[in-house]
Structure 1
Amino acid sequence: MFGLGNLAKKLFGSANDRKVKAYRPRVEAINALEAELALLTDDELRARTDKFRADLAAGTKLDDLLVPVYLNALTGKGVHVVTVNDYLASRDAEWMGRVYRFLGLTVGVIVHGLDDEQRKTAYACDVTYGTNNELGFDYLRDNMKYEVGQMVQRGHHYAIVDEVDSILVDEARTPLIISGPLDDRSELYNTIDAFIPRLTAKEDYEIDEKQRTASFTEAGMEKLERTLAEAGLLKGENLFDVENVTVVHHVNQALRAHSLFQRDKDYIVKNDEVVIIDEFTGRMMPGRRYSEGLHQALEAKEHVKIQPENQTLASITFQNYFRMYEKLGGMTGTAMTEADEFMDIYRLEVIDIPTNLPVQRIDDDDEVYRTNEEKYRAIIRLIEECKGRGQPILVGTTSIEKSELLAHLLVKAGFRQADPTDPAAFRDLYDGDQKSTTERVFTVLNARYHEQEAAIVAEAGIPGAITIATNMAGRGTDIQLGGNVDMRVRYELKDMAEGPERDAAVERIKADVSRLKDQALKAGGLFVLGTERHESRRIDNQLRGRSGRQGDPGHSKFFLSLQDDLMRIFGTDRMDGMLQKLGLKEDEAIIHPWINKALEKAQQKVEARNFDIRKNLLKFDNVMNDQRRVVFDQRVELMQGESVRETTDGMRHDVIADLVRKHIPENAYAEQWDVAGLKAEVQEHLGLDLPIEDWAKEEGIADEEVQDRLTKAADAVMADKLERFGEGMMAYVEKAVLLQTLDHLWREHLVTLDHLRQVIGFRGYAQRDPLNEYKTEAFTLFEAMLNGLRRAVTGQLMRVEIVQQEPSAFQQPSLPPMQVHHVDAATGRDEFEGGYGQALAPAAAAPQAVGIDPNDPSTWTNVSRNAACPCGSGKKYKHCHGALNASGTMTA
């Protein structure tokens, strides 16, 4: 039936059509510039950049200059072009960099393995290419530095994100994390582990094996509170008071270790270590560890040596990182299904741009089989058919394991697998006339070898080519029928020098690609075969979209079985019985548009669930993000200032005021004062032994007078240090102590928030909103952290002494060893397989001044704090022999 909505669309066009129509005048204005620009010389074209920059400096708005392509780079604030892997970042920077450099703009690229100086140079460019992971980690690392000059990023002005749905949606369910080793907690894990065997299943805790969760019953919580209180591990009376979140977190992990994880199934114990077993392959995975204390809980359970737990040093979600940009944009071929999320989370409007040429691809209805065995037999039959007629075929799978399973079945069917790590592997596909049609070779790709992957995917359009890939593999590289000229030139002629011989070879490659393209076109173009439906319609659309590009013919079809993960969502058993009653025989499929509709509805439900997960993650992360921005902004402000004395003085005075309020009640008589407690805490926090007990005996003394005397005594100590050590040295010491203490307490705070996040859901049992509870508790913890910061900084500065040391006795303070992590939300695996360290290259050693002996500190007179250290290390003096060491003293 033709509804009112469809009638309105036919008369007025869809909302998207109207938006596209509104942009057409702007597109035409841009295209109209072609004739004008074609008449300009190279120098005149470059000069336009300087003219536009001058116009902006004179007050012209960017929107008035909208029809230059490089618009946002003209401001000089930097444009970040974000891609999904290092290969694409490097490739795109090389391709487009020629244009931008010609126009007078600078271009940089951020990839893994660069040191801080190289990163700083790249970020200083007008246009900077980089991956989402590298940009996010650089932001976190910048906020762990101790000087503004050490930071590599210079702000977040404008970002344009390639494959925007992959980065801002698919990868947004898990945060970027920088971690480091935590203090040894073996005793705590062992103590808690001893409690769990005393608990009884069903009575004390319940298990949900499907969701792999274990939770305490009310009776179990009461028993646990009594046990923890007896062991002295419970603070206060309530198990779920904010002070106990860390203990509760570890108790929950111990319960999971005992009730959900089975030895020799989920893990084995080998050489006094707990080794994880991969649930898909059954293989051991040495070096991989469960996070958040679960692996340590398993080690305690098995009574093996407990390895140190990793601590979160810094973290951020992609949602909150990319929302920092003043302007944000992106592009992808598959964003319409997530249009609501882009608007809700990022305030980004999604517009569907019409294709350059009409799409000629044929999209068949899905074929649904009863079992996986039947499905895979049908898939291999279709691959055989495509091979026979010389039609290139791309087979998409939902996981690495399933791509390997299909590869195994193809080998059994008589095909040969090429090695994807061999750059020449794809050459076998078309070496020799017609070889690609007769040679039974296939290639399996996954997301592990980005550059080789791109090369092989680029050749997936050769007649008869068989390419098996995870659905995301090779994304960002266009599949061209007949092959890719640029990729073939790169690999085949890489050792050939420029000249007539090379030019002739390039022409031969072009002619060969043209011939092969004709063959592929006659065979029907690229056939895309999906081995099952993904939980997101968008991923399926991405796979389909690899075929039928730029008006080429193409074909797509998905093969499903009732044993697929998605099919189980809506009643496999019932449907299987129905199909058997209908007489569906083995190797027969059911094909009907209604099946497609039912699948689409199931996918919509999963998409809605995943959106809710991401929204919920963001709600909780926003709490931490507000605190993160306060701390990070404060760090930058402290680093930028010449002196932080006003801040440290204020902290000291606040500590004194808090101590007086704590021990001298308002309007209380002197005999009601806690004199002994005040004296002890003044000694502890200020390092001062003062006759407070004598003060209390004075006639008419009040709390204001006591506070004033304490303040004057503490100020006198700091004034003495200033006179003895000098203004410059004390300013450096105060800043170093403040920043290092802030960082230490912030990291501990992050761990506590992580633990609070794990247990806050239990508040729902008491009919309280977990999010509101989390906000309240997180604010309380943040206030406690700031109070702890004031006390710790004051105590250190009141006690710090600066002494001379021999160079051999000096130890340069440094950040703890760091690893970075980002867990794939779909597979649960860390993209970085345990993380990688950010190695920083040492600065070049500076030449020594005349008369200075690097081995004799007595010759190093009047060294500037920012000058190179005379020892020859290449570091600044303040970061080498002029820095605080681990004991709180200063090397001079």
Structure 2
Amino acid sequence: MLGLGSIAKKVFGTPNDRKVKATLKIVTAINALEPEFAALTDEQIQERTEALAARAMKGESLDDLLPEAFANCREAARRALGLRAFDTQLLGGIFLHQGNISEMKTGEGKTLVATFPAYLNALSGKGVHVVTVNDYLARRDAEWMSKVYSALGLTTGVVVPQQPEDEKRAAYAADITYATNNELGFDYLRDNMRSSKADMMQRGHNFAIVDEVDSILIDEARTPLIISGPSDDRSDMYVRVDQLIPEIRDEHFIKDEKQRSVNFTDEGNEWLEERLVVAGILPEGQSLYDPESTTIVHHVNQGLRAHKLFQKDQHYIVRDDQVVLIDEFTGRMMTGRRLSDGLHQAIEAKEGVTIQKENITLASVTFQNYFRLYSKLSGMTGTATTEAEEFMSIYGLGVVEVPTNRPIARTDEHDQVYRSAAEKISAVVEEIKTAHAKGQPVLVGTTSIEKSEMLSQLLTQEGLTHNVLNARQHEQEAQIVADAGKFGAITIATNMAGRGTDIQLGGNVEMRVLQALAAQPEADPEAVRRQIEGEVAADRQKVLDAGGLFVLATERHESRRIDNQLRGRSGRQGDPGRSVFFLSLDDDLMRIFGSDRLEKVLSTLGMKEGEAIIHPWVNKSLERAQAKVEGRNFDIRKQLLKFDDVMNDQRKAVFEQRLEIMDADDIGEIAQDMRHQVVDDLVDRFLPPKTYSDQWDAKGLYAEAIETLGVDAPVIDWADEDGVDQDVVRERLYEATDKLMAEKTEAFGADQMRQIEKQFLLQTIDGKWREHLLTLEHLRSVVGFRGYAQRDPLNEYKTEGFQLFETMLDSLRVDVTKKLARVRPLSEEEKKAMVEQMIAQQRAAAGAAAPASAAPAPAPLAQSAAQPEAQEAEVAAGEAAPGFDENDSSTWGEPGRNDPCPCGSGKKFKHCHGAF
């Protein structure tokens, strides 16, 4: 008897069916325009693009332009590639334009589908990004589809790692840009570390089409993209904390050897707080539980772990003034390997060896938060339905299942479950031999490289020729996948690497033509193609007679989506095929997540040695186990994203502020606002509101005005005047600081002063943001323990993260104000002395004296007028060395660590570009 839901679906269709049916009207409209566009000349097709773009610029909606744009694109693709898009491909393109994920089976031509929404959205002039999983596919798709875009009068670019900057900038400026998800994310981070808008690569985030969207937005979204660099030397902190740890008593900590964790008790925290204050590490009046103490707590925790969890000559040895880790499984030294998050430095402090610098995060972003920057996002894949909830809740993406062009003829058999892994593998080998004997190509799916190599050895022993496909070389993967449909081919694939190239029965004509022409460059391409097409057609018929591609999976994956990807390699474009999963009770999924009910089912059905259990109940039980694991993994990703969202709001605020500063010709007003805010804070601190003048600390304000504001204001005299309140003092300090900056502007010249202000502000923002990221990392690592006190770690992280951000902004204002107050032009004597010093250093570096007139003499124009030791840290705006390019280290020459930086900042190289 059918349930109400089933009856409703029979009568009204599923929501997916209704969506497809409604969209077919648009496809009909596109098809009606086909004769009109087929009659156009090549030039007229490009003229249509110009006309459509002009209408889009005037405000006509892209939805209104869609039928004409898709018809124009279909005709251009037919002429450029010899491919006429099917109606189902147009459907997929429409759903992408609407900001959905188009789920299209393998072999349905997703690469061509992307050209339709990419072309339509490029008409706005804001650029379109087509995102792929690897460099090979980005290059291949860009080269292949650029023929279509070129025929339409649009430009195409491709972004890959280690690309020259000019080339990459041109690629981003193109109408349609193909790139990998990693490179897009890294370029976004790099752009927000640049000091000039002209140096930035990306021009905004208008519309992205993500190919293999499940792989990029779910599988790869587990780890953030991080740009790191050497941190400031904090070895002194590790040493000072390490001196306290040996004094800790047993009642001060709890150790769990099974979990390899160690934590302070409440008594330990109290003792620690007292000792840290006495040692001068924790400021008086500051608690370990204050947000400002996060970094100290992190150091103390790592020191405790170093002493209580890591034993010398068991976990590590000390050799040549270094702590070298020992592999706990092999007992071998792991030279060059280091523990992260400051733990290695804590062990170095414990052993008294040289403490090496940590790497710190300079910038980071998760894929979730990067792709949510786009005004419109869409994606394509063969498998997205099982993750529809995650796509909607995190990215706001709906999943639409696009019908196949031809009905699927593949037979999906029930799983075969064996008692042991040995019995299963034996059965797998026999099944491969049976299929191979009749010439049926076999694709064998494994879950690890180790298992694929073991199976490969068994097939070699049986004398079966085969290919092994792993994730090491994308180009090689594409070749192996292209050959996997040949008559009698056997291919072992690990986690279905190499997606993006179809498995075509009989072989891939394009791949074979390229190979033949590479081997015989002088051969006639047309003759070669005709010959290969004939051979492949004959081979294809033999494969069809043998039953098509046979997909044999040796294990179920944790995610149903990965299993469906493997199955989907067979049965493309209505081809026959079959798929089956061979499992055993020893498989990880069966062992860890298989329910008690599944075991009862198997024992009820009975299992004999070498015999498989095949039953629909088994399939359903396994699907339930997989759904459970998928749900758990989704919850983990959702929780990680909630924490990253806290940082993301702050990241966006900082990056937007940087952009404003880079855009502005004159940031004098921003600098003045910061200066006045510092004045407000100082007045409120030393002359608290609603207090009498005899309660004021005028001496403290006087000293702070000299130190921070650089003005020697008679604050003490003002405080003694009748009728003077806090507002009067505030206004007078405003005037004094504004007058000081006006004098500096006159001394430097207005243009030079604006440059100095911008340089100071950007460098200070970047430095403070790096410190803030490190503090947030430390907070994230310890905030989980708040759960033991019945407090929500996420709320605690949000609250304290916001407080830390406020503190960072206060510190930023003070630092910028202080630096601008101290900057001054160099005297002629100082310039001369600095030039002579540079000449001497260059001669020493060259190993021979050069005439003074031959040495370049860039003269920095400013330095700090405060303490002499601060001189090297203060920036001065000057002329860069000839040919200096901030983003190309090969143009910097080879300055010593203490030489002036070739950028002309006036800093020592180690404190400027050498810091990276």
TM-score tier by shorter-chain length is 0.7 to 0.9
CA distance in 2, matches of 1:858, 1:287: 41
Moved more, 28-37 or 285-294: 285-294
The residue aligned with 2:437 is 388
After TM superposition, the structure 1 = structure 2 runs for residues 141-156 of structure 1, keeping only pairs within 5 Å, are 141-156=190-205
How far has the Cα of 1:490 moved from its partner?
Answer: 1.8
Corresponding residue for residue 492 of structure 1 = 516
Instruction: Give 1:707's aligned residue.
Output: 730
Find the residue that maps to 1:546 and give its secondary structure: coil
Residues 439 and 488, structure 2, Cα contact 8 Å, conserved in 1:
yes
Which residue of structure 2 lines up, in the alignment, with residue 510 of structure 1? 533
Change (3 A) 1:572 1:623: closer
2:374 is the counterpart of 1:325: yes
The equivalent of 1:120 in structure 2 is 169
Moved more, 571-580 or 305-314: 571-580
Distance 1:445 1:226, change over 3 A: farther
Take 1:598 and 1:574, find their aligned partners in 2: how far apart are those partners? 8
Query: Partners in 2 of 1:671 and 1:333 — Cα distance?
Result: 77
Question: 1: CA distance between counterparts of 2:480 and 2:905?
Answer: 53
Given that 2:483 and 2:508 are in contact with CA atoms closer than 8 Å, whether structure 1 keeps it comes out as yes
- Aligned partner of 1:733 among 749, 756, 762: 756
Equivalences for 1:513-524 in 2 at 5 Å? 513-524=536-547
Q: Which runs of 5+ in 2 are unaligned?
A: 70-115, 840-852, 862-875, 893-900
Offset, 1:313: 0.9
Write the distance in 1 (CA, Å) between the matches of 2:244 and 2:451. 41
Q: Relative contact order, CA 8 A, sep 6+: which one is greater?
A: 1
2:910 matches 1:886: no
Indicate if the aligned counterparts of 2:157 and 2:170 stay in contact, CA closer than 8 A.
yes
Q: Which moved more, 1:302-311 or 1:3-12?
A: 302-311
Please identify which structure carries the higher helix content: 2
Amino acid in structure 1 at the alignment position of 2:281: L
- Equivalent position to 1:363, from 412, 416, 436: 412
Alpha-carbon deviations, 1:278-331, whole Å to 9, x = none? 899998765454433344345556665433211111111111111111111111
Indicate the residue corresponding to 2:111 in structure 1.
none
Deviation at 1:462, TM superposition (A): 1.5
Distance 1:283 1:538, change over 3 A: farther
Judge which range, 192-201 or 93-102, deviates more.
Answer: 192-201
Matching residue of 1:24? 24
Q: Kindly state the Cα deviation for residue 765 of structure 1 after the two structures are TM-superposed.
A: 2.0
Q: What's the counterpart of residue 467 of structure 2?
A: 443
- In structure 2, the residue matched to 1:189 is 238
Worse-matched range after superposition: 562-571 or 802-811: 802-811
The question of whether the paired residues in 2 share the 8 Å contact of 1:365 and 1:596 is answered with yes
Q: Secondary structure at the match of 1:169?
A: helix
Q: How much does 1:885 deviate?
A: 2.4
2:810 aligns with 787
2:872 corresponds in structure 1 to none
Distance 1:458 1:11 in 2: 43
Aligned equivalents of 2:50, 2:510: Cα separation in 1? 33
Partner of 1:97: 146
Q: 2:281 aligns with which of 217, 227, 233?
A: 233
CA-to-partner distance for each residue in 1:317-356, whole Å, 9 max, x for gaps? Answer: 1111111111111111101111111111111111111111
CA gap 1:701/1:324 in 2 versus in 1, 3 angstroms: same
Instruction: Kindly state the Cα deviation for residue 472 of structure 1 after the two structures are TM-superposed.
Output: 3.8
1:868/1:724 CA distance change after superposition, 3 Å: closer
CA positional deviation for 1:444: 2.2
CA contact (8 A) 2:679 2:733 kept: yes
Aligned equivalent of 2:824, options 794, 801, 807: 801
Pairwise mapping of residues 567-646 of structure 1 onto structure 2 (< 5 A)? Answer: 567-570=590-593, 584-646=607-669
**Greater CA deviation, 612-621 or 134-143?**
612-621
Alpha-carbon separation, structure 1, partners of 2:318 and 2:18: 64
Tell me the amino acid that sits aligned with residue 654 of structure 1. Answer: Q
CA distance in 2, matches of 1:52, 1:251: 64
Q: Which amino acid aligns with 2:61?
A: K
Q: CA deviation at 1:276?
A: 6.2
Report the alpha carbon displacement of residue 163 of structure 1 after superposing the two structures with TM.
0.7
CA shift for structure 1 position 246:
1.6
Structure 1 distance, partners of 2:321, 2:546, is 59
Describe the shift of the 1:484–1:59 C-alpha distance in structure 2 as closer, same or farther (beyond 3 A).
same
Partner of 2:746: 723
Instruction: Say which SS state the counterpart of residue 816 (structure 2) adopts.
Output: helix
Contact 2:429 2:459 in 1 (8 A): yes
Q: Please state whether the residue corresponding to 1:493 is helix, strand or coil.
A: helix
Deviates more, 1:292-301 or 1:767-776: 292-301
Deviation at 1:741, TM superposition (A): 0.3
Q: Normalising by structure 2, what TM-score?
A: 0.82
**How many pairs are equivalent?**
819
Shift of 1:154: 0.5
Q: 1:470 matched to which residue of 2? A: 494
Cα deviation code 1:351-373 (max 9, x no counterpart):
11111111121222222233333
Aligned to 2:868: none
Q: Following the alignment from structure 1 to structure 2, what is the Cα–Cα distance between the partners of residues 648 and 531?
A: 65
CA RMSD of superposed structures (Å) = 3.5
Residues 287 and 369 of structure 1, relative CA distance in 2, 3 Å threshold:
farther
Match of 1:82 in 2: 131
Does the 8 Å CA contact 2:878/2:906 hold for their aligned counterparts?
Answer: no
Return the letter of the residue paired with 2:199: Q
* Residues 645-692 of structure 1 deviation map (CA, whole Å, 9 limit, x = unaligned): 011112112212211211122344444322332233223212344444
Write out aligned runs for 1:122-271 (5 A). 122-192=171-241, 204-207=253-256, 209=258, 214-235=262-283, 236=285, 238-255=287-304
Secondary structure at the residue paired with 1:801? strand
* Alignment counterpart, residue 871 of structure 1, candidates 882, 889, 911: 882
- Kept in 1, the 8 Å contact 2:860–2:905? The answer is no
Q: Give the equivalent residue in structure 1 for 2:65.
A: 65
Match of 1:306 in 2: 355
Higher mean alpha-carbon deviation, 7-16 vs 151-160, is at 7-16
Which letter maps to 2:413?
D
Partner-residue secondary structure (3-state), 2:178: strand
- Structure 1, unmatched stretches of 5+, are 416-439, 812-852
Task: Report the Cα offset of residue 151 of structure 1.
Answer: 0.6
Per-residue displacement from partner, 1:691-716 (whole Å, max 9, x unpaired)? 44444444554333433343333223
Equivalent-residue separation in structure 2 for 1:685 and 1:28 (angstroms): 71
The DSSP-based 3-state class of the residue aligned with 1:494 is: helix
The corresponding residue for 2:575 is 552
Contact 1:488–1:509 (Cα < 8 Å) also in 2:
yes
Q: CA deviation at 1:274?
A: 5.2
Q: Do the aligned partners of 1:88 and 1:476 also contact (CA within 8 Å) in 2?
A: yes
CA distance in 2, matches of 1:266, 1:395: 40
Tell me which residue corresponds to 1:837: none
Taking the aligned partners of 2:579 and 2:213, their CA distance within structure 1 comes to: 24
Distance 2:495 2:657 in 1: 43
Residues 55 and 548 of structure 1: is their aligned pair in 2 closer, same or farther, counting only changes over 3 Å?
same
Measured after TM superposition, the shift of residue 26 of structure 1 is 1.1
Question: SS of the counterpart of 1:351?
Answer: strand
Q: CA deviation at 1:571?
A: 5.9
Q: Which moved more, 1:126-135 or 1:4-13?
A: 4-13
Specify the alignment match of 1:427 in structure 2. none
The answer to whether the 8 Å contact 2:325/2:333 transfers is: yes
Cα distance between partner residues in 2 of 1:27 and 1:320: 34
2:51 is the counterpart of 1:51: yes
**Offset at 1:875?**
7.7
| Counterpart-to-counterpart distance in 2, 1:745 and 1:20 | 51
Query: Do structure 1's residue 758 and structure 2's residue 781 form an aligned pair?
Result: yes
Amino acid at match of 1:885: G
SS at match of 2:33: helix
Please report how far the alpha carbon of residue 773 of structure 1 lies from its aligned counterpart in structure 2 after TM superposition: 1.5
TM superposition shift of 1:261: 6.5
Tell me, yes or no, if the aligned pair for 2:122 and 2:175 is still in contact at 8 Å: yes
CA distance in 2, matches of 1:713, 1:132: 52
Residue pairs, 1:648-727, within 5 angstroms = 648-699=671-722, 701-727=724-750
Aligned mates of 2:454, 2:248 — CA distance in 1: 42
Q: Deviations over 1:260-281 (max 9, x none)?
A: 6788887777766556678999
SS at 1:884's partner residue?
Answer: coil
Structure 1 residues 407 and 155 mapped into 2: Cα distance closer, same or farther (>3 Å)?
same
Change (3 A) 1:867 1:114: farther
